[in-house]
Amino acid sequence: MQSRGVVAETTTAAILIAAKMQGAGLATIGLAGAGIGIGTVFGALITGVARNPSLRGQLFSYAVLGFAFAEATGLFALMMAFLILYAY
């Protein structure tokens, strides 16, 4: 049975490929942080609206801003993972 995977001709190339895979995997840890941040932002939005429903519009605009910042950090982490895998 033929196996298709990463094929390296030398030991040095195999170590480099393994390091790239590990580095990309570690870079994606930032995506978990983005998920936690987004959950925190919207959890705080729900709590704030439950306490004072008249501020719903203002709190929602702050929540969207917080969501954008949290998502940006996750996208930077994903971009670094792709750069590690494909740019070098």
Q: Which domains does the chain have, with CATH numbers?
A: 31-86 (1.20.20.10)
Q: What is the pLDDT of residue 13?
A: 87
Q: What is the pLDDT of residues 1-49, one digit of tens each?
A: 666 666 778 888 889 889 999 999 998 998 999 999 999 999 999 999 9
The token pair that represents 83 in the structure block: 């750069």
Q: What is the pLDDT of residue 73?
A: 92
Helices assigned H by DSSP within 1-88 = 11-27, 29-51, 56-86
Asked if 84 contacts 27 with a C-beta cutoff of 8 angstroms, the reply is yes
Helix axes 56-86, 11-27, angle to 10 degrees: 180
This prediction's pTM:
0.73
Q: What is the pLDDT of residue 3?
A: 65
Q: What is the pLDDT of residues 40-63, one digit of tens each?
A: 999 999 999 999 999 999 999 999
Q: What is the pLDDT of residue 30?
A: 87
Q: What is the pLDDT of residue 87?
A: 87
